[in-house]
Amino acid sequence: MDLTAAKETFIIESRELLEEMEHSLLELEKTSDSKDAVNAVFRAVHTIKGSSGMFGFKGIVDFTHVAENFLEKVRKGEVPINPELIADLLECHDHIQELVNIYAEGSGSVPASMVSTGNEILRKLEGHLSGEKLPEMHSEKKEPVEKKETGLSGPESSETVQNENWHISLRFNEEVLKNGLDPASFIAYLKKIGTIINLTTITDNVPPVAEMDPENCYLGFEIDFETDKTKEDIEQVFEFVENDAKIVIIPPNSSISHYKEMIENMPEESMRLGEILTSTGSLTEHELEKAMKLQIEKGDIEKPKPLGEILVEEKMVPNDVVDAALEKQKKTAVDVKKSIRIEAEKLDSLINQVGELVITVANVNQLADKNGDKELLEASSVMSRLVEEIRDSAMNVRMVQIGETFRKFERVVRDLSKNLGKKIRLEISGGDTELDKTVVEKISDPLMHIVRNAVDHGIATPEVRRNAGKPEEGIISLNAFHDMGMIIIEISDTGEGLKKEKLLNKAIEKGIVQSGQELTDKEIYNLIFEAGFSTAEKVTDVSGRGVGMDVVRKNIESLRGSVELDSVEGEGTTLRIQLPLTLAIIDGFRVGIGDASYIIPLDMVLECIEITEKDILTKRGGNFVNLRGEVLPFLRLREFFDEEGEKGSHENVIVVRYGQMKAGLVADRLLGEFQTVIKPLGKLFENVQGISGATILGSGEVALIVDVPRLVTAARKIEEEETKRTEEAFV
């Protein structure tokens, strides 16, 4: 059987569980009494152990088995939760992660050095126990498995049960459903390696209806099973659930003592279980008598009646209610959302095909308009609406919450702050804000640079903060929200802030600015985005090498985004990143300049106004227009992009907004809304100013997508320079 796909799923799910485990451990560090966090850590280790066992990943199974037993003691309150324990469990998490990576890379075994590391971690965990020893891990060796013909230890009897089939007794723990396991799935899997001859459901543990918990499992099973597999093969079926069930496997034609021992160890009364065994053919009446005689010395055995029969006879519960309650236990009461995993390449392919469909529909609409056929126009209109719905659905599939990315920095901030001797708390808000998965993936590294810099440079040591009259603990905040069709990510800290004089002197020293050159506060702060610029007095393992922030800006701009910085000396610093929600398909507003078409992202368009040449010439400098009493700077796209072609009789100002800034973009013609499939420009044009991409029109022509943030910034800069010149003229 090819398990390649299943193993890939195991690797993905294990990494997700490890992320959840890390998050829960960090939560425990803040609130040590969180039972939910403790249970989440336990479930993560338990699930990884069970899943890895199904694939024979012995190195993971051995380590997680010991870790799971230790965590069970933590769950029971036998091990106190303290910072030292959390630190050791985080090391345990990291080791499991490394083990998963080893098997993900295709290695068949764990290196001896990793085994040694695992033992060191277990010794640390052992230190939290009261004299109890934890077993050591050993290097994996391929040793022959000794096959046993008997299912249980104990005195052998020369008399055997004449049962040609295997007998399997299962009693699931009540918590099995809460741990995410489905008892029925294990029984169903048996059918893949053999044939179930007989199956009896045990309902003796079903409580009265009033006492039932719909999240608990009260069932057990007695199974006669025919197969040519070994006992080890059958055990592997239940390896995933071995800690959530009592399992007894008896080979064909085993001695009666094995059945006797099974009867002793099962939770039901002996006679009840004996009845079940005889009804399934596992024991004859004569064999059952012998088994019971072996137990008679332990006391008289009274044959109990089934629970359902007692409830009905005593008129405690109507028969229909009992039947309904028993039926209810066969179903999982937990409402789990159905989901399916798909490869990222398949999803990207779907989006590309939807994009091509959008372009084709635009072509159909153009031909319909040209043809003038009413029925064709109506059909193309309906098709456009359906394609738009398909586009939105496809894009929603790619939308993910940014909270998962934010959570990755919890461990980063914790570890770095401890290494640097600082007290820092990470606060996260807006984690449910959604954006394209491609944007999330590409923004992760820039965010890492910013967060590490905030820890290293932004927040001072407790002593320095205390002397400055500030709390010893600094705060780094991550926040995300939507604004004007963009996503805004803010990273702020309550640190020391940036020192303008120091920044300016360093820039002059490096020749980035000229001595005596006048810069605004914003321009001085943005010097940190220059290549090789750093004010760190010494190089550390965290930062200070003068690399990072320039890469941050380049990576963000490559996503058609922008980054701004604001700082107050002695109070803190805030970086504001603005990104598009998606990099694939957007709603655009098409404008004409001469013979060319340009696309402006519709989410950034506020309104359109018509102006004449006379109106513009009467305004200050010809670069401003009066928008209902507000001075609005504008740029002529014809001049900015050096377009030729005939001008229109009038010009149109498209008022756009970027962040808190507004500006006008002047075009010759307004051509209406347009579904825009974003195409990259390629390396030859990637540095063209004012353009963020291109799209294909229905006619097959190419239209350029306007980089609104760049143009708004350019227009506002012109306004600032004009204002400055005006003020100097009056001095």
Strands 399-401 and 220-226: unpaired
Domain for residue 151, yes or no? Answer: no
> Which pLDDT belongs to residue 268?
58
Domain for residue 153, yes or no? Answer: no
CA neighbours within 13 Å on the CB side: how many for 304? 13
Q: 310: pLDDT confidence band, cut at 50, 70 and 90?
A: very low
Closest CA to 27 of 67, 81, 108: 81
Query: Does residue 556 have a pLDDT over 60?
Result: yes
> Which pLDDT belongs to residue 56?
75
| Start-to-end C-alpha separation, the chain | 86
> Which pLDDT belongs to residue 3?
59
CA distances from 165 to 27, 202, 249, 254 (A): 51, 20, 11, 10
Domain for residue 101, yes or no? Answer: yes
Render pLDDT for 398-431 as a digit per residue (tens, 0 to 9).
888 899 899 989 999 999 999 999 999 999 999 9
Q: Are residues 296 and 435 in the same domain?
A: no
Alpha helix ranges (H) inside 281-402: 285-293, 307-313, 319-328, 344-371, 374-398
Q: Are residues 182 and 46 in the same domain?
A: no
Give the separation between CA 417 and CA 358, rounded to whole angstroms: 49
Query: Does residue 605 have a pLDDT over 60?
Result: yes
Identify the DSSP state of 266.
Answer: S
Q: Are residues 619 and 511 in the same domain?
A: no
Closest CA to 360 of 697, 590, 702: 697
Taking residues 74-97, report their average pLDDT: 92
Q: Are residues 318 and 455 in the same domain?
A: no
The CATH number of the domain where 568 resides is what?
3.30.565.10
Which token pair is 91?
A: 């090391």
Render pLDDT for 161-178 as a digit per residue (tens, 0 to 9).
656 788 888 888 888 887
The CATH number of the domain where 48 resides is what?
1.20.120.160
> Which pLDDT belongs to residue 476?
95
Q: How many domains does the chain have?
A: 5
Q: Are residues 230 and 374 in the same domain?
A: no
Amino acid at 544: G
Q: Are residues 63 and 176 in the same domain?
A: no
Q: What is the mean pLDDT of the chain?
A: 78
Q: Are residues 537 and 632 in the same domain?
A: no
Which token pair is 299?
A: 């006391």
Taking residues 511-540, report their average pLDDT: 75
CA distances from 19 to 22, 45, 367, 406, 408 (A): 5, 11, 52, 12, 8
Taking residues 250-262, report their average pLDDT: 70
Q: Are residues 616 and 515 in the same domain?
A: no
3-state percent breakdown (helix, strand, coil) of the chain, nearest 5: 45, 20, 35
Highest mean pLDDT among 115-124, 214-223, 515-524, 609-618: 115-124
| pLDDT above 90 coverage of the chain, percent | 20
> Which pLDDT belongs to residue 161?
61
Render pLDDT for 625-667 as a digit per residue (tens, 0 to 9).
778 878 788 888 988 888 887 776 778 899 998 877 888 999 9
> Which pLDDT belongs to residue 2?
52
Cβ 654 vs Cβ 715: under 8 Å? no
Domain for residue 691, yes or no? Answer: yes
Where a domain ends, among 580, 614, 635?
A: 580
Which token pair is 383?
A: 């098709």
Task: Count Cβ atoms within 10 A of the Cβ of residue 240 and give its class: 0-12 exposed, 13-18 middle, 19 or more buried.
Answer: buried
In 628-668, beta strands by DSSP E: 630-636, 651-658, 661-667
Highest mean pLDDT among 228-232, 265-269, 721-725: 228-232
Q: Are residues 457 and 467 in the same domain?
A: yes
Which residue range is the domain that position 275 belongs to? 166-328
Cβ 549 vs Cβ 449: under 8 Å? yes
Where a domain ends, among 516, 545, 580?
A: 580
93 φ/ψ angles, rounded to the nearest 5 degrees: -60, -45
Cβ 601 vs Cβ 595: under 8 Å? no
Render pLDDT for 110-167 as a digit per residue (tens, 0 to 9).
888 899 999 999 999 999 988 788 887 776 554 433 333 333 333 344 455 656 788 8
Closest CA to 99 of 91, 110, 83, 84: 110
Q: Are residues 600 and 527 in the same domain?
A: no
Q: Are residues 591 and 610 in the same domain?
A: yes
> Which pLDDT belongs to residue 17?
92
Amino acid at 35: K
The CATH number of the domain where 190 resides is what?
3.30.70.260
Domain for residue 338, yes or no? Answer: no
Q: Are residues 395 and 320 in the same domain?
A: no
Domain for residue 300, yes or no? Answer: yes
Taking residues 575-596, report their average pLDDT: 86
> When comparing pLDDT for 465 and 723, which is higher?
465
